[in-house]
Structure 1
Amino acid sequence: MTLKEFSNLLGLSQTTVSRALNGYPEVSEATREKVLSAAKTHGYAPNTRARALATGRAMAIGHVIPISAKHEMVNPIFADFTAGAGEVYSSNGYDMLISVVSDDSEEEAYRSFVTKRNVDGIILHAPQLDDPRIPLLNALGLPFVVHGRSSQTGAPYSWVDVNNTRAFQRATELLLDLGHKRIALLNGLEHMDFAIRRRMGYEAALHARSITPDPALMHTGEMTEAQGHDLTRALLSAPNPPTAILVSSIITATGVRRGIEELGLIMGRDVSLITHDDELSYFRNGADVPVYTATRSSVRAAGRIAAQMLLDIIAGDPGPHEHLLEAELTLGLSTGPAPRPTPHHPPDG
């Protein structure tokens, strides 16, 4: 069905129908609802190329992935975020353009988007502490939203983030309430802003109970199953092992669990474990009863929020906008009271 045929069906001009479909404010709400309802009923979708010509927009949103982070493409967190964002893009007639570039070509990729005019905005992933991409995008004038925050960046920007500091503070407080005093932290790479915030929450909870954080119990690295397994084996084999482990990813948590079980210990009894799991669609934390006690936040919902925020900016809402999500602390089978110390019996005689 063409725009002309669809307009004739509704008894409206092509200009009115086009403006209603594209969200122009001069169209009344009643007319807009009439057009959108009819479009859904008759399966009408505007021609994207024609819409782009009419609006002067590319009708696409860009996501740039450096090659060093190409594992993000198969990371369930990235997949869930882009799935949520993609729902919003498609419902608004936008496409998603993912560009994988070498690390030293990332800045060039953003400049190329501006030159080619093949995207209307950018979602910025994995912000660092003082991320140079934020002032770059501000200078280029390309609308963007950051998934996360960059603590030491003074330039204005729009962002969607989870309250990582509070989430890890609450998780550590729960373990302390259960009697644990030696709590290990298996964190992400700490040049990433989220990881720094998570360590801050962990340390704040310890300091509040007059416990000095032990550097030997704090580890950073890629959040992989192997990292969780190897670090757990090393930590629990040490002379003064932790009784609880707090980890930044459910993927790491599966490795921690494997390491605990290989040592003949029982998770939740001998060693407690809390993970940040992000409510991943294809990496579920159990069914009716969660396997892991977890700080949970839907990254898919974050994708939807970030995408809508960006489309609003593109439509003329200047921002900057901020949206802070709170994580839910969910109890599972992986936590329990700190085990009692084994009594020491002096030798006979």
Structure 2
Amino acid sequence: MTLKELSDMLGLSPTTVSRALNGYPEVNETTRARVQAAAAKHGYRPNSRAKGLATGKSMVIGHVIPSSSQHEMVNPIFGDFVAGAVKTYTEHGYDMMFTNADDTSIEEAYRSLFQRGAVDGVVLQGPKVNEHRISVLSKMSVPFIVHGRSTGVDLPYDWIDVNNKSSFLRATQFLLDLGHRRIALINGLEDMDFAQRRRDGYLAALAQAGIAPEPNLMRSAEMTEVYGHHETRTMLALDDPPTAILISSMISAIGVRRAIDEAGLQMGRDVSVIAHDDDLSYLKNGQDVPIFTATRSSVRKAGEIAANMLIERIKSPDAPTKTRLLEAELVVGRSTGPAPNRY
């Protein structure tokens, strides 16, 4: 069924039907309910191009990938976030567009997208501690949302984030309660805001316990399996190795587990491990009993929420800034236990 056929059947104009299906406030609730019921009954799904003509919108959401982070396209965390966002986009009749831009031409890339009417809004992912993209978009006064936050940006903007500091504070305290005193941190790149917040939580828990942080137990790099393996192998070779390791990624945790096995040690008995789990579709933390004790927060769910928040911003550009802070759940698995008695 086409938009015209549906509007003719209802005795309404195509514009009214389109606006009713897209939640525009000028359509009264009785008409909106009638249109939605007829669309559902006859299996009508709006065409994004037709909706664009009726509403003056492109019905496209943009994701700009900086050249320095093209690896994000094959990162399962990025993929799950996008999968969640696409689910929401589809429900609201939006399409999605990826584009790439050199780090030196980010502002031109965003400006071109909006001036050409190619997108109605953009999602900014992977913000750094000082994220210049936020100020660029804020100055342009265009709809956008940030997946994460930027400590160094003192501007109002829409964002959704996990409470990274709180989750790593709690995880470190859990290990301290098990008697661990030599706790290592295998973190992400610490110019990334999430990684800095996780480090801050880890350091705060150590400080509360009166334990001075040791630089040789704190590592920072891109979160790959090889990185987790290499850093764990190096730290286990220390004269006084860690009894517990806190890791910023389930991907790196696989490498950590491999290094522990290769050293002839048992995870959970000789070395306790806690990882951050984004509850990925293709990298599940075990079945009934989790493999890793983990701070868990679904990145797919974050994608759904972020997309809804951005669509609300597109519809109401002058509405007050909205933020959403998600709390991670501490899930106890087989990878943690009391600190071993080495003496």
TM-score, normalised relative to structure 2: 0.97
Q: Please state if 1:22 is matched with 2:22.
A: yes
1:115-140 CA-partner distances (Å, limit 9, x unpaired):
21200111001111121111110111
Q: Map 1:199-210; keep pairs closer than 5 Å.
A: 199-210=199-210
1:275-311 CA-partner distances (Å, limit 9, x unpaired):
0011111110000000000000011111111111111
Which stretches of structure 1, 4 residues or longer, exceed 4 Å deviation after superposition? none
Structure 2 gap segments, 5+ residues each: none
Structure 1 equivalent of residue 85 of structure 2 = 85
Q: Map 1:145-164; keep pairs closer than 5 Å.
A: 145-164=145-164
Match of 1:279, SS? coil
Structure ID, larger Rg: 1
After superposing the two structures, state which structure 1 stretch, 71-80 or 110-119, moved more: 110-119
Give the aligned residue type for 1:189. Answer: L
- Supply the distance in 2 between the matched residues of 1:105 and 1:25 (Cα, whole angstroms): 37
- Supply the distance in 2 between the matched residues of 1:63 and 1:147 (Cα, whole angstroms): 11
1:202-228 CA-partner distances (Å, limit 9, x unpaired):
000000010011111000000000000
Match of 2:339, SS? coil
1:186-242 CA-partner distances (Å, limit 9, x unpaired):
000000110000000000000001001111100000000000000010000110100
Give the aligned residue type for 1:334. Answer: S
| 8 Å Cα contact 1:114/1:140 also seen in 2 | no
Q: Please state if 1:182 is matched with 2:182.
A: yes
Give the aligned residue type for 1:239. Answer: D
Structure 2 equivalent of residue 123 of structure 1 = 123
| 8 Å Cα contact 2:159/2:322 also seen in 1 | yes
| 8 Å Cα contact 2:73/2:79 also seen in 1 | yes
Q: Please state if 1:280 is matched with 2:310.
A: no
| 8 Å Cα contact 1:164/1:201 also seen in 2 | yes
Match of 1:5, SS? helix
- Supply the distance in 1 between the matched residues of 2:12 and 2:107 (Cα, whole angstroms): 46
| 8 Å Cα contact 2:18/2:54 also seen in 1 | no
Give the CA deviation at 1:13. 4.1
Q: Please state if 1:328 is matched with 2:337.
A: no
Structure 1 equivalent of residue 222 of structure 2 = 222
- Supply the distance in 2 between the matched residues of 1:295 and 1:71 (Cα, whole angstroms): 24
Give the aligned residue type for 1:247. Answer: I
- RMSD over aligned Cα, in angstroms? 1.3
Give the aligned residue type for 2:4. Answer: K
Q: Please state if 1:55 is matched with 2:55.
A: yes
- Supply the distance in 1 between the matched residues of 2:291 and 2:30 (Cα, whole angstroms): 49
Q: Please state if 1:136 is matched with 2:136.
A: yes
1:89-129 CA-partner distances (Å, limit 9, x unpaired):
11111111111223323222112112212001110011111
After superposing the two structures, state which structure 1 stretch, 115-124 or 194-203, moved more: 115-124
After superposing the two structures, state which structure 1 stretch, 10-19 or 228-237, moved more: 10-19
| 8 Å Cα contact 2:19/2:55 also seen in 1 | no
Give the aligned residue type for 1:283. Answer: L
TM-score, normalised relative to structure 1: 0.95
| 8 Å Cα contact 1:65/1:98 also seen in 2 | yes
| 8 Å Cα contact 2:164/2:201 also seen in 1 | yes
Match of 1:265, SS? coil
Q: What is the aligned-residue identity percentage?
A: 60
Structure 1 gap segments, 5+ residues each: 343-349
| 8 Å Cα contact 1:313/1:319 also seen in 2 | no
| 8 Å Cα contact 2:147/2:159 also seen in 1 | yes
- Supply the distance in 1 between the matched residues of 2:232 and 2:198 (Cα, whole angstroms): 19
Q: Map 1:87-126; keep pairs closer than 5 Å.
A: 87-126=87-126
Give the aligned residue type for 1:227. Answer: Y
Match of 2:40, SS? helix
After superposing the two structures, state which structure 1 stretch, 21-30 or 270-279, moved more: 21-30
| 8 Å Cα contact 2:15/2:54 also seen in 1 | no
- Supply the distance in 2 between the matched residues of 1:274 and 1:196 (Cα, whole angstroms): 17
Give the CA deviation at 1:11. 4.3
Give the aligned residue type for 2:328. Answer: A
Query: What is the aligned length?
Result: 342
